[in-house]
Chains A and B, each alone.
Chain A
Amino acid sequence: MAEILSANDLNFESFIQTERMVIVDFWAPTCAPCRLMEPGLEQVASNHEGSVRILKVNVNESPKTSSRYYVRTLPTLLFIKEGEVRTQIVGAVNPQQIEKTLSEVG
């Protein structure tokens, strides 16, 4: 089973403290591009089972986490390793672009 977890303000920190690359997907139910990007994220998750963790953060429910990273656009993907942001993608992208970014920062 590919690892896509739902994180919030309370548990976010514990989820990013891992040796694995973490992709954080900031989304909201009202964001259509976020919804349309979901199958691509699932594809990436299954390609990297065991090596990449994908966290979904609903910005409406977790305002502190989105403020902490100055997220003001949805979707935003943060690539975090060992607790530090390596890069980010702003706006909807396809799985190939996520893969390319992973290979650059991985």
Chain B
Amino acid sequence: MDKIWDVIIIGGGPAGLSAAIYCGRAMRKTLVLEKKVFGGQIVLADIIENYPGFAEPIVPADLMDQMSKQCQRYGVVLENDEATALRREGQGWRIDVYQETLEAKAIIYAAGSLHRFLEVKGEKELLGRGVSVCATCDAPFFTQRKVAVIGGGDTALVEALHLAKFASRVSVIHRRDQFRAERILQKRVFQNDKIETIWDSLVLGFQGERKLEALEVHNKKTGRIDILPFEGAFLAIGTIPNTALLRDIVELDVNGYVVADLSLATGQPGLYVAGELIRGNRRQVAIAVGMGVQAALGCEDYLATLD
């Protein structure tokens, strides 16, 4: 891999790849680093129905594959590697990756977020053995079995609807007495005979020897704790921003989100941010795409001052 770049984009999800398309078209030597798989977390969803321009539902992995190819068409290099440190040195930036250090005039940080876990007993041990964060990947394992979805947002209800195609019963366990998901998703969930809701409830633990067997569920209103048998449990309780590398460089809020205005500049020369790690951001592909473009245009203005 070349060591010196005009722009290095950290994160290969919708924000990072959208930024890369614009950097590539600005004829900047651009590298995108992605530590997992190109496409970001959206590839875990089975369909997208609200991305403007597509009247029919689209498969996220296909959409993201097109974005990757669009980047490559404009000379952007996509590299599967993890940025482990970021620092300003001289007039540019240094990024440590797996086995070397890279240099760039500008950085667009679009590293997205990580799955939030409940951090209760049994969760870590049973992850991959019944506890899951991806219904699209794992639903077939639970054909004609009872599963739970934990959460109340868009992701939780999309997962529940997908699981209902396989499982005998899907229980959505939510800590409040109403969902915050899109109304169209709520309507589908309420109309689906296979899906039930368990309101006002917290999961206190996951039980099972070698695979998940039951959930310990606490009803906040009645105070009652039940051990409910489930073979699968899908976590959809939100995310935490992947901003560890920015901690000493830019302003973060108490939850670790970057505080940024519409310019997506950070106050550090040549460092821009995009995507769901920004405070107040709603997790939507369309928003991430727009932010990626905005950051790339700001980045290009900055690079033009160096030319």
Is A87 among interface residues, defined by CB-CB distance under 8 A? no
Chain A residues with a Cβ closer than 8 Å to the other chain, count: 30
Residue of A nearest to B79 (CB): A94
Segment at the A interface, from B1-9, B122-130, B148-156, B298-306: B122-130
Contact between chains at A94 and B140 (CB < 8 Å): no
Segment at the A interface, from B34-42, B193-201, B283-291: B34-42
Neighbouring A residues of B127 by C-beta, 8 Å? 73, 90
Contact of A76 among B44, B128, B133, B140 (CB under 8 A): B128
| A32-B138 in contact given A71-B128, A94-B82 (Cβ < 8 Å) | no
Contact between chains at B232 and A94 (CB < 8 Å): no
Contact between chains at B80 and A31 (CB < 8 Å): no
Instruction: Give the docked Cα–Cα distance between A30 and B141 (Å).
Output: 12
| A32-B60 in contact given A40-B80, A71-B128 (Cβ < 8 Å) | yes
B77 to chain A, nearest CB (A): 14
Contact of B43 among A32, A40, A93, A94 (CB under 8 A): A32
Contact between chains at B36 and A96 (CB < 8 Å): no
Residue of A nearest to B36 (CB): A92
Is B118 among interface residues, defined by CB-CB distance under 8 A? no
Contact of A36 among B37, B134, B232 (CB under 8 A): B37
A77 to chain B, nearest CB (A): 10
Instruction: Give the docked Cα–Cα distance between A52 and B50 (Å).
Output: 44
Give the size range of B's interface with the partner. Answer: 20 to 34
Contact between chains at A33 and B38 (CB < 8 Å): no
Neighbouring B residues of A33 by C-beta, 8 Å? 36-37, 43-44, 134, 137
Is B265 among interface residues, defined by CB-CB distance under 8 A? no
Interface string of B49-82 (1 = CB under 8 A from A): 0000000000111000000000000000000111
Instruction: Give the docked Cα–Cα distance between A72 and B127 (Å).
Output: 9
Instruction: Give the docked Cα–Cα distance between A32 and B211 (Å).
Output: 24
Contact of B44 among A32, A66, A95, A97 (CB under 8 A): A32
Residue of A nearest to B211 (CB): A70
Neighbouring B residues of A76 by C-beta, 8 Å? 128
Neighbouring B residues of A73 by C-beta, 8 Å? 127-129, 132, 134, 137-138
B223 to chain A, nearest CB (A): 32
Neighbouring A residues of B224 by C-beta, 8 Å? none
Instruction: Give the docked Cα–Cα distance between A94 and B43 (Å).
Output: 15
Contact between chains at B137 and A88 (CB < 8 Å): no
Residue of A nearest to B33 (CB): A94
Contact of B138 among A72, A92, A97 (CB under 8 A): A72
- Chain B residues proximal to chain A, CB less than 8 Å: 34-39, 43-44, 59-61, 80-82, 98, 127-130, 132-134, 136-138, 140-141, 210-212, 232
Residue contacts A-B, CB under 8 angstroms, 30 given:
A28-B140, A30-B137, A31-B137, A32-B43, A32-B59, A33-B43, A33-B137, A34-B137, A35-B61, A36-B38, A36-B61, A37-B37, A70-B211, A72-B128, A72-B129, A72-B130, A72-B138, A72-B211, A73-B127, A73-B129, A73-B138, A74-B137, A76-B128, A90-B128, A91-B133, A92-B37, A94-B34, A95-B80, A96-B81, A96-B98
- Chain A residues proximal to chain B, CB less than 8 Å: 28, 30-37, 39-40, 59-60, 66, 70-76, 88, 90-97
Given contacts A75-B137, A91-B36, 19 further A-B contacts (CB under 8 A): A32-B43, A32-B60, A33-B37, A33-B43, A33-B134, A33-B137, A35-B61, A37-B37, A59-B141, A60-B140, A71-B128, A72-B130, A73-B127, A73-B132, A73-B134, A74-B138, A94-B34, A94-B36, A94-B81
